[in-house]
Amino acid sequence: GNTFPVNNKHRNILVAGGLGIAPIFGLADSIVNSPGLEQPLLFYGARTGKEILCKKNLADISIRPVIATDDGTAGKKGNIVKVLEKFLKSGSINVNEYSIYACGPKPMLKALSALTNKLGIKGYAALEQSMACGIGTCLGCVVHTTRGLKCVCKEGPVFPLNEIVW
């Protein structure tokens, strides 16, 4: 498989939905511990406040996430992609200086893909997919991309957001 291609010339925005925080936390930790890279911004969404994970782990690496929950029990009420969109459209930043790295449920990633395409921001997603064989033989983890069918286990799990056919 592959990993997130972190751009050391861009500021990094990490977007996690639900259990997608696990790989995003690993990426955040890697960025924080890489000399010369700025502290990443983390946008983290879940259904409820009880489903927000890794709070202590994030605090340990000095990450203060922007949180949104569907029910409003933690952070902002609503969808994390909408919260990110508001930040990106605030006019206080130059979106060309950012790259986005995400993991979470497909509806979140689809919305994020539409947003990054609309704003012209480079984005990548780690796809959550069942992988029966792990070597590309069973074709159980195939994803449609603009470059044809790809096995998430072998050619992923990270793909450019603008290449995934939703």
pLDDT tens digits, one per residue of 112-154? 999 999 999 999 999 988 888 889 999 999 999 999 999 999 9
CATH number of the domain encompassing residue 97? 3.40.50.80
State the Cα–Cα distance between residues 52 and 95, nearest whole angstrom: 27
Residue 141 lies in a domain: no
Residue 96 lies in a domain: yes
Which residues, listed in sequence order, are joined to residue 13 by a DSSP beta bridge?
A: 41, 100
Residue pLDDT, tens place only, 20-56: 999 999 999 999 999 988 999 999 999 999 999 999 9
- Please tell me the total count of domains within the chain: 1
Residue 36 lies in a domain: yes
Residue 158: count of CB within 10 angstroms of its CB: 20
Residue 6 lies in a domain: no
Residue 32 lies in a domain: yes
Whole-prediction pTM: 0.95
Look up the domain containing 67 and give its range: 11-126
Which of 164, 67, 40, 31 has the alpha carbon at shortest distance from 106? 164
